[in-house]
Structure 1
Amino acid sequence: MIPARCCLRFLPPPPFTHAAQPDAAAVCFPPPETSEDRISQLPPDVQRTIVSKLPVKDGVATAVLSSRWRWIWSSIPLVLDDAQLRPAGAYELDDDEDEDEDTEAAEYLSRAVVGDKVSDILRSHPGPFRSVRLTSSPASSLRDWLLTMAEKGVEELVVLNCEWPTALMVLSVELLRCESLKRLHLALCQMPRLAVPGWPGQRRAVRFPNLQQLVLCHAFVPISDIGGFLAGCPALEVLAFVESCGVPQYIDAFCPMLKCLLFWQFKPVKLTVDAPRLERVILWRTNQFFIPPRTRVIIRRAPNLRMIGYLEPKLHVLESGDTVIKEGTRPNPDAMLPSVEILAVKIRFGVREDERTLMSYLRVFPNIRTLHIQSAPGPLHLEDEDAGGAFWIDGIFSSIKCISKIKKFSFYDFYDMGNDSELLFIKSIAQACSSLEHMLIAISASIMEPPSWLKSRLMDAMSEVEWASEASMLDIVTGNHKEWEYGTASDQSLSDPFEYI
């Protein structure tokens, strides 16, 4: 069972923290030795700016300073992080630490205190709410608050059921009609079931006309409802499923404005994409422990798709149009995806099915400029036909159009575990990519021998290669290099989120 606190790393950070505003209270309150109140003499806009920078509990406190200040806090769009309302000295449980009866009781009391304060704030503030982050409040109060926020208008909402798995929190239907929402992050919550349209008195439409970002982290959505849910989000640009235990199993992403589709440690059975503005599809660790069947990734229409990865032949079956891309597939022109410039693939070198499927992928994407390859551990004992690296012979890429256009190539987790397939593949890339400008090889941190020895052998081996591009630069990195994280994958400002070394 995943602890609630593990989900915090998948949620956006608090808008304000005490550390970011260490002297905020000192700015607003005159020193005790003087009776002169210069802050109250500032223009109203400046006063509003000052209060808006304060943590919520200090912002509320300004309302009791004087009648001059009472209106300021309530006139500012609310920014609320309930973690800032925890009692001083409240016990914070680490992810790897067990709870006992004392800490459970302390946490219960802390949530009760936070719940009372949040209730007072939401009741006293007239709205609108610019950002509300609820990660430390009792689940029993969340439903009532969601109704209040839907009525008063909230733009950004983060909800984490911190009492999971003790309490299951089903969202209120009213939240699904919150037309002011622009960003919604839900963790360890359950969507209310949508009744079948047309049933007497049972029509519950989803109306999120302004919702641009939706992140579901262990948020359970009934299989039959995901299509109706997305249909009510015409402005949706970012859709992410994080550690969602394969629910829903079937996802039809028919979204006219969708730009980014992200699956992080989430394995649906079938994903169908029909999104004219989609730019990136990111799949990562769709299932750490492979459970059949493989996920069908069907690209119906995505004329602006710029990047896709990490595709894994072991876990995914890629379909473009009506063509299944598998080993030996030579797709027709209608199945090609010419808009894709960045491709990331994770394969088991030495496993022929994976290697041949990679060749089929390269035929589907004729205009790749950046190729990322991650090596995955293969079976301990390969079949005779799979043994060795003879597959990657010189000239194997001669019929692959995209090879001459690749400018950047990265190879992650180089193992060299008695299997020369990895090295022969890298050499073949160097010999075939006539436009290659930069090649990066990252040696796996899990190898048994000193990484410096392997780096030296790699340098010697690559020095013997007749490179197709004289302008190519080779970098080989060793040690515990930076791992790819959810924050990197979900960062829309990065032109290439797969470039994580």
Structure 2
Amino acid sequence: MTLSLDAHLCNVVSHLPVRDAARTGALSHRWRGLWRATPLALDDAHLLPSPVPTAALVSRVLASHPGPFRLLDHLADKGVEDLTLVNRPFSFDVPVQHPLTLLRCGVSLRRLYLGVWLFRFTTDLPPGPDVFPNLQELGLCHDITEERDLKYVLACSPKLETLALISNYGYPDRVRVGSRNLRCVKIGHAPQLVVLSYLDTATHQLEIGNTIIKAGVTNVCPNTVLPSVKVLALKVRFRVPKEVRTLLCFLICFPGVDILHIMASNNDTDHYDDPGEVKPGDKLNYTFWKGVGPIKCLKSRVKKLVFDHPIQSS
């Protein structure tokens, strides 16, 4: 098969450092546009030395090139820990590189955010905790992601503490998120969120919008309530006053709940980083309960209350 002259020239451009490749357009009319038509191989070593910060130069190069990019191999070799990939200009026509390439960065990654990408892992890829062994924070922003892809990433991230799902596309009606290590539950604009479980009053930090929900601190306002939630499940140890106060504070944020699940645990063997044991003078006495204001969902909405049994660990 005979290659065209443009194909040969693109091959030449692909082997040049990014500075030289971008300048080939000045050679002649024939070379103009070839750099943008060639997959971008970006190595930040080719940008040095420069008076402009490397991050700014990389952003400038990525903004000038439509893709696709050959970037992740270099990042994997350098043990990158914090990686954010945003597809600009906004288009879903450019998929993220083959997931196996992204997984090469997995061992060192601690924080990963993907914005405006076709993010499609599959069950055919190797599963297990060795894929993202150190990943603590994952954000998928305006991506096309299926439930099985999210399930795969969670299963491969044993240390994941923070998960952000922001205006993603292609989700089914329900997304099941299962992880014993998640600590931060942040809910932004979620007008169709109907079911939420389990919020653990001992370990989970609930953030609605930009407000962290804390007992005795949070003031109820339109920005801190989610009226769309109809089914809510909470886990609490009633012997720990701190958790009971958190439970009441969480309930105020969900005024439209119809079905409320409570998992009550008094097992001393439950593991919590901050057990919040009873302190002298910290008791839920008559004075405390008398001061508890009305909770809308309990007063006029809840139609069914279910006490669930704690899941016994093996």
Q: CA deviation at 1:182?
A: 0.7
Question: What are the equivalent positions in structure 2 for 1:54-203 lying under 5 Å apart?
Answer: 112=36, 119-121=42-44, 137=62, 138=65, 140-142=67-69, 144-165=70-91, 167-173=93-99, 174-177=101-104, 178-196=106-124, 203=126
CA contact (8 A) 1:238 1:258 kept: yes
Counterpart of 1:215 in structure 2 is 139
CA distance in 2, matches of 1:165, 1:358: 38
CA distance in 2, matches of 1:320, 1:146: 40
Q: CA deviation at 1:121?
A: 1.5
Counterpart of 1:475 in structure 2 is none
Q: CA deviation at 1:184?
A: 0.9
Provide Cα deviations, 1:144-166, integer angstroms capped at 9, x if missing partner: 21233123311101111002226
CA contact (8 A) 1:191 1:220 kept: yes
Q: State the identity %.
A: 20
What SS does the corresponding residue of 1:169 show, helix, strand or coil?
Answer: coil
Higher relative CO (CA 8 A, sep ≥ 6), structure 1 or 2?
2
2:205 to 280, 286, 290: 280
Counterpart of 1:75 in structure 2 is none
Counterpart of 1:236 in structure 2 is 160
Counterpart of 2:148 in structure 1 is 224
CA distance in 2, matches of 1:246, 1:404: 45
What SS does the corresponding residue of 1:149 show, helix, strand or coil?
Answer: helix
Q: CA deviation at 1:141?
A: 3.6
Q: Structure 2: 5+ residue runs without aligned partners?
A: 1-21, 23-32, 49-53, 264-285, 294-314
Matched residue count: 214
Amino acid in structure 2 at the alignment position of 1:319: L
1:338 to 238, 244, 254: 244
**CA 1:358 to 1:166, structure 2 compared with 1: closer, same or farther past 3 Å?**
closer
CA contact (8 A) 1:157 1:181 kept: yes
**CA 1:277 to 1:400, structure 2 compared with 1: closer, same or farther past 3 Å?**
closer
CA distance in 2, matches of 1:170, 1:245: 15
Provide Cα deviations, 1:304-345, integer angstroms capped at 9, x if missing partner: x967983423x11242269xxxxxxxxxx79x9626174485
Q: Flag the structure with higher helix content.
A: 1
Q: TM-score, normalised by structure 1?
A: 0.34
Amino acid in structure 2 at the alignment position of 1:316: V
CA distance in 1, matches of 2:109, 2:188: 24
Q: Structure 1: 5+ residue runs without aligned partners?
A: 1-86, 88-108, 126-130, 197-201, 286-304, 323-332, 348-353, 365-398, 407-501
Counterpart of 2:226 in structure 1 is 312
What SS does the corresponding residue of 2:148 show, helix, strand or coil?
Answer: helix
Q: TM-score, normalised by structure 2?
A: 0.51
Q: CA deviation at 1:180?
A: 0.2
CA contact (8 A) 1:122 1:145 kept: no
CA distance in 1, matches of 2:172, 2:207: 17
CA contact (8 A) 1:256 1:275 kept: no
CA distance in 1, matches of 2:201, 2:167: 27
